[in-house]
Every structure is written in structure tokens, then in C-alpha cells.
Amino acid sequence: MIVLSEKYKQIRGERRKMVQKKNTLTRTGIIALLACVCCILWGSAIPVIKTGYRLMEVDAADTASQIEFAGVRFTLAGLLVLIFASIREKKVLIPDRTILKYAVPVCLAQTVGQYFFFYIGVAHTSGVKGGIITGLGNFIAILMACLIVRNERMTGRKMAGCVLGFAGVVVINLMGKSLDMGFTLTGEGFILISQVAYGISTILINIYSKKVSPVVLSGTQFTMGGVVLTLIGIGMGGHLGNITAVGVVIIFYLAMVSAVAYTLWSVLLAWNDVSKVAIFGFVNPLCSVILSALILGEVKQAFNTGSLVALLLVCAGIYIVNCKAKQKN
């Protein structure tokens, strides 16, 4: 009887913790804070990646080496996540069959599919068109959640929020630049495919993270995908030269960015609707521009009227999507 009583208390304690965690991670303020942390980390990655390319003598047109660079980064990120999870659980976490069953499709969609097509596409299109098409990823994720998977309803608020957020991305990418309407499969087409892959991975993470630990799922798929990308990059003739101490620090930082940001994002998707989280993805391009200005000295390109308009559009989109949920809480 005493053993059963202790077991019952333990189960009740675990359920209480789960309810408290759910109540915390579904609050709009907490979602906004953690999502913006993710976007700031991702935004900081752009200028750091450019610095890493310069130090390791990776040419802007050397897609193979860029894919290899990404593979090393994501492999290390996955290992860091699994090490962190093992320390937290006080035991070595080795992915079992259940984790692998869910990690493989996420890995193929996100780490492999998204980044393989993205790097090739970027090499064959302009930065403006690449940035604008990349902004469609969040829109695609929300549309898939509402119209294909149908685990949430498409509403006028969600559509309006997506349109405003995407408008902000367009503004931030068009500042002082022109946009041609050309379209090629290996350029704009591949970037669009990468964003569809991003949308699919977002849906999969939202579903699978309710069945297994989002932290272990994230670490496993990163490690697997990173290894695959590294092998693809090497197979395409990629080579990372001039590896210095500073270069190693940069790769480690980028791995930490991926480990922390993507794991936080996965945790948010585990406890919330896709639209409530994905809409914050429109903040990412703004963070990239502002942090690139601060780190790379591109101040005039970031701090101007266009940036302010873009920021207001994105904030308006986020508010419109989340304000109804806030009223319910």
C-alpha cells in the first residue's frame, strides 16, 4: 500500500509539472519572448556565417563547401543538444526506434531538404528574390497547418497577419533595390522548394513533439541531417580550407545557435498551434538585417524608414494573429 501511495504521489507530481509547463509555454508573452530569442540567434548567424566563409576561404559561389560547412555545423549542434539533454536527465540518452521513426522524416524535411535546396538556390538567384521567397516559409507552414493537416482553422486574422508579416519581409528586402520577375528552377525554384520543406518540417515537429521529447527529437534529427549534408558537400567537391582557432570558434557558435534556437522553437511548437509560433518567423529577416548592420558595418542599409515600416508591418501581423488567443487566456 505504501509503495502504491508513493507511486500515485509521483504520478500526480509529474502531471502537475506538465500542467504548469503547458500553462507557461502557451502564454502569448512567453511565446513572444522565446520566439524572439530564436529569431535574434538566427539573425546573428547570417553575419557570422559570412565571416566564417571569409576566414575559411569559402567562395560565395562555392555551394558544395557551403553545404559541407552547414553539415559540420548541424552535426555539432545535434551532438550538443543530446549532451545537454543527457546532463539534464542524468543519464546518457541514446535515440531508440521510436525517436528514430520520427527523427528521420523531420531530418529529411528540415536539415537535409531545406538547406540542400536553399544553398543551391541562393547561388543561382539575387539576394532580394532569395530573401522574399524565404519569407514565404512561415506563410506556407501556417497554410499547411490549416488547409492540409487541418489541426487548426484558417481565419481572417491568421490570413491578414500572414499578409502583413510577408509584406514586412518584402519591404526589408526591397530597400534601395530592384526586383526582376525572372524565375529559374535551380534558383528561385529551389528556394521555394526549401521553404515548402520548412513548412513540412514545422508541421511534423508540431505533431511529433507531442509524442516524444522535442529536445531529443531535435538533437537526433540535427545529428543525422548534419552527417548527410557533410557527406553531400564532400561528394560535390566541397572543401573547408584554412581552419584556424577563430574558425573553430565560429563553427561552435553557429552550432550553439542552431542547438538553442531550433530546440526552443520545437518546444514552442509542441505546446502551441503552428500559426501562433510560425508568425514570429517574420521577425527573423529584420533581426538579420539589423545584426548584419551592427556586425558588418552595414548601418545605412538597416536603420532607415524602410526598416521601421517593415518592423511595424511584422509587429502588426504578429499582434493580429495572437490577439484573439490572448483574449481567450
pLDDT interval class at 10 (50, 70, 90):
very low
Q: What percent of the chain has pLDDT over 70?
A: 82
Report pLDDT digits (tens) over 196-205. Answer: 998 999 899 9
Say if 147 falls within a structural domain.
yes
Q: Does 42 have pLDDT greater than 80? A: yes
Average pLDDT of span 136-154: 81
pLDDT interval class at 3 (50, 70, 90):
very low
The DSSP output letter for 272 is: S
Number of domains observed in the structure of the chain = 1
Q: How confident is the model at residue 72, as a pLDDT?
A: 93
Say if 18 falls within a structural domain.
no
Q: Does 37 have pLDDT greater than 80? A: yes
Torsion angles phi and psi, residue 91, rounded to 5: -160, 155
Q: Does 181 have pLDDT greater than 90? A: no
Q: Does 328 have pLDDT greater than 60? A: no
Say if 13 falls within a structural domain.
no
Average pLDDT of span 180-209: 85
Say if 289 falls within a structural domain.
yes
What DSSP letter does each residue of 104-144 carry, written as one string? HHHHIIIIIIIHHHHHHHHTTS-HHHHHHHHTHHHHHHHHI
The three cell numbers of residue 182 are 525572372
Q: Which residue has the higher pLDDT, 206 or 297?
A: 206
Distances (CA, A) of 149 to 76, 268, 290: 32, 18, 35
Q: How confident is the model at residue 329, as a pLDDT?
A: 43
Q: How confident is the model at residue 127, as a pLDDT?
A: 61
Q: How confident is the model at residue 13, as a pLDDT?
A: 45
The three cell numbers of residue 283 are 521577425
- Structural domain for 230, as ranges: 35-328
Q: How confident is the model at residue 8, as a pLDDT?
A: 42
Report pLDDT digits (tens) over 245-287. Answer: 888 899 999 999 989 998 898 889 888 888 888 888 878 777 7
Say if 227 falls within a structural domain.
yes
Query: Residues 6 or more apart from 214 whose CB is under 8 A from it?
Result: 205, 263, 266, 267, 269, 270
Say if 29 falls within a structural domain.
no
Say if 209 falls within a structural domain.
yes
- pTM, two decimals, is 0.79
**For residue 21, is it left (φ>0), alpha (ψ between -120 and 50) or beta?**
alpha
Q: Which residue has the higher pLDDT, 298 or 106?
A: 106
The three cell numbers of residue 6 are 508513493
Distances (CA, A) of 270 to 22, 36, 137, 226, 263: 10, 17, 19, 23, 11
Q: How confident is the model at residue 255, as a pLDDT?
A: 93
Say if 17 falls within a structural domain.
no
Average pLDDT of span 308-329: 70
Q: Does 14 have pLDDT greater than 80? A: no
| Residues 80 and 255: beta-carbon distance below 8 Å | yes
